[in-house]
Amino acid sequence: MDHKSIGRFNKSLEARRLILAQTQGKLLSTPADYGKDEGDRANNALARELDLEQKSRDRALLTSVEAALSRIHEGTFGQCLNCSQEINAKRLEAIPWVRYCITCQELIDGTKEK
Protein backbone atom coordinates (compact mmCIF):
# COMPACT_ATOMS: atom_id res chain seq x y z
CA MET A 1 0.00 0.00 0.00
CA ASP A 2 1.33 3.48 -0.84
CA HIS A 3 2.21 6.13 1.71
CA LYS A 4 -0.60 8.42 0.70
CA SER A 5 -3.27 5.79 1.37
CA ILE A 6 -1.64 4.81 4.67
CA GLY A 7 -1.64 8.46 5.73
CA ARG A 8 -5.30 8.78 4.89
CA PHE A 9 -6.24 5.65 6.83
CA ASN A 10 -4.07 6.79 9.73
CA LYS A 11 -5.93 10.10 9.84
CA SER A 12 -9.39 8.58 9.74
CA LEU A 13 -8.47 5.94 12.34
CA GLU A 14 -6.98 8.56 14.67
CA ALA A 15 -10.14 10.66 14.35
CA ARG A 16 -12.29 7.62 15.13
CA ARG A 17 -10.12 6.71 18.09
CA LEU A 18 -10.50 10.21 19.53
CA ILE A 19 -14.29 10.14 19.21
CA LEU A 20 -14.51 6.71 20.82
CA ALA A 21 -12.18 7.68 23.65
CA GLN A 22 -14.30 10.74 24.36
CA THR A 23 -17.51 8.73 24.37
CA GLN A 24 -16.01 6.30 26.86
CA GLY A 25 -15.21 9.18 29.21
CA LYS A 26 -18.64 10.75 28.85
CA LEU A 27 -20.59 7.61 29.55
CA LEU A 28 -18.51 6.93 32.64
CA SER A 29 -19.79 10.13 34.21
CA THR A 30 -23.49 9.18 33.84
CA PRO A 31 -25.09 9.40 37.30
CA ALA A 32 -25.72 5.96 38.74
CA ASP A 33 -29.17 6.50 40.21
CA TYR A 34 -30.62 9.82 39.21
CA GLY A 35 -34.42 10.26 39.33
CA LYS A 36 -37.17 11.26 41.71
CA ASP A 37 -39.68 8.43 41.46
CA GLU A 38 -39.92 4.77 40.57
CA GLY A 39 -40.64 5.46 36.88
CA ASP A 40 -37.70 7.79 36.54
CA ARG A 41 -35.46 5.24 38.13
CA ALA A 42 -36.74 2.50 35.83
CA ASN A 43 -36.18 4.71 32.79
CA ASN A 44 -32.81 5.62 34.09
CA ALA A 45 -31.88 2.00 34.68
CA LEU A 46 -32.88 1.20 31.12
CA ALA A 47 -30.96 4.18 29.77
CA ARG A 48 -27.98 3.08 31.80
CA GLU A 49 -28.21 -0.45 30.50
CA LEU A 50 -28.32 0.84 26.93
CA ASP A 51 -25.41 3.11 27.76
CA LEU A 52 -23.41 0.18 29.03
CA GLU A 53 -24.27 -1.86 25.96
CA GLN A 54 -23.23 0.99 23.69
CA LYS A 55 -20.13 1.47 25.77
CA SER A 56 -18.99 -2.12 25.52
CA ARG A 57 -19.60 -2.05 21.76
CA ASP A 58 -17.60 1.17 21.54
CA ARG A 59 -14.85 -0.32 23.69
CA ALA A 60 -14.56 -3.31 21.37
CA LEU A 61 -14.44 -0.95 18.40
CA LEU A 62 -11.84 1.21 20.12
CA THR A 63 -9.67 -1.88 20.63
CA SER A 64 -9.99 -2.74 16.92
CA VAL A 65 -9.18 0.83 15.89
CA GLU A 66 -6.12 0.90 18.17
CA ALA A 67 -4.97 -2.44 16.79
CA ALA A 68 -5.31 -1.08 13.25
CA LEU A 69 -3.26 2.00 14.22
CA SER A 70 -0.50 -0.18 15.63
CA ARG A 71 -0.52 -2.20 12.38
CA ILE A 72 0.03 1.10 10.55
CA HIS A 73 3.08 1.77 12.75
CA GLU A 74 4.36 -1.76 12.25
CA GLY A 75 3.85 -1.47 8.51
CA THR A 76 1.48 -4.42 8.28
CA PHE A 77 -1.68 -2.40 7.80
CA GLY A 78 -3.95 -3.69 5.05
CA GLN A 79 -2.75 -7.27 5.39
CA CYS A 80 -5.06 -10.04 6.46
CA LEU A 81 -4.12 -11.32 9.94
CA ASN A 82 -4.86 -14.85 8.84
CA CYS A 83 -3.38 -15.28 5.35
CA SER A 84 -1.22 -12.08 5.06
CA GLN A 85 -2.79 -11.25 1.69
CA GLU A 86 -3.63 -7.61 0.96
CA ILE A 87 -7.17 -6.83 2.00
CA ASN A 88 -9.41 -5.47 -0.76
CA ALA A 89 -9.17 -1.66 -0.91
CA LYS A 90 -12.93 -1.16 -0.98
CA ARG A 91 -13.26 -3.34 2.11
CA LEU A 92 -10.65 -1.23 3.90
CA GLU A 93 -12.35 1.97 2.82
CA ALA A 94 -15.58 0.76 4.39
CA ILE A 95 -14.00 -0.62 7.58
CA PRO A 96 -10.40 0.61 8.02
CA TRP A 97 -9.96 -1.46 11.21
CA VAL A 98 -10.98 -4.72 9.52
CA ARG A 99 -8.64 -7.61 10.41
CA TYR A 100 -9.26 -10.19 7.73
CA CYS A 101 -9.72 -10.40 4.00
CA ILE A 102 -13.20 -11.35 2.82
CA THR A 103 -12.21 -14.99 2.22
CA CYS A 104 -10.86 -15.49 5.75
CA GLN A 105 -13.72 -13.51 7.28
CA GLU A 106 -16.23 -15.83 5.63
CA LEU A 107 -14.22 -18.79 6.79
CA ILE A 108 -14.16 -17.50 10.38
CA ASP A 109 -17.86 -16.56 10.36
CA GLY A 110 -18.73 -19.96 8.90
CA THR A 111 -16.82 -21.72 11.69
CA LYS A 112 -18.59 -19.66 14.32
CA GLU A 113 -22.02 -20.60 13.01
CA LYS A 114 -21.24 -24.30 13.26
What is the C-alpha to C-alpha distance for residues 10 and 89, in angstroms, rounded to an integer?
Answer: 15
What is the C-alpha to C-alpha distance for residues 77 and 95, in angstroms, rounded to an integer?
Answer: 12
Minimum distance of Zn ion from residue 111's CB (angstroms): 14
Region from 3-11, 54-62, 70-78, 94-102 binding Zn ion, contact rule CB under 5 A: 94-102
Residue 72 or 101: which CB sits closer to Zn ion?
101
Amino acid at 68: A
What is the C-alpha to C-alpha distance for residues 91 and 98, in angstroms, rounded to an integer?
Answer: 8
Minimum distance of Zn ion from residue 84's CB (angstroms): 7
Residue 20 or 80: which CB sits closer to Zn ion?
80
Bridge partners, residue 79, by sequence: 86
User: Where on the chain is the footprint of Zn ion (CB under 5 A)?
Assistant: 80, 82-83, 101, 104
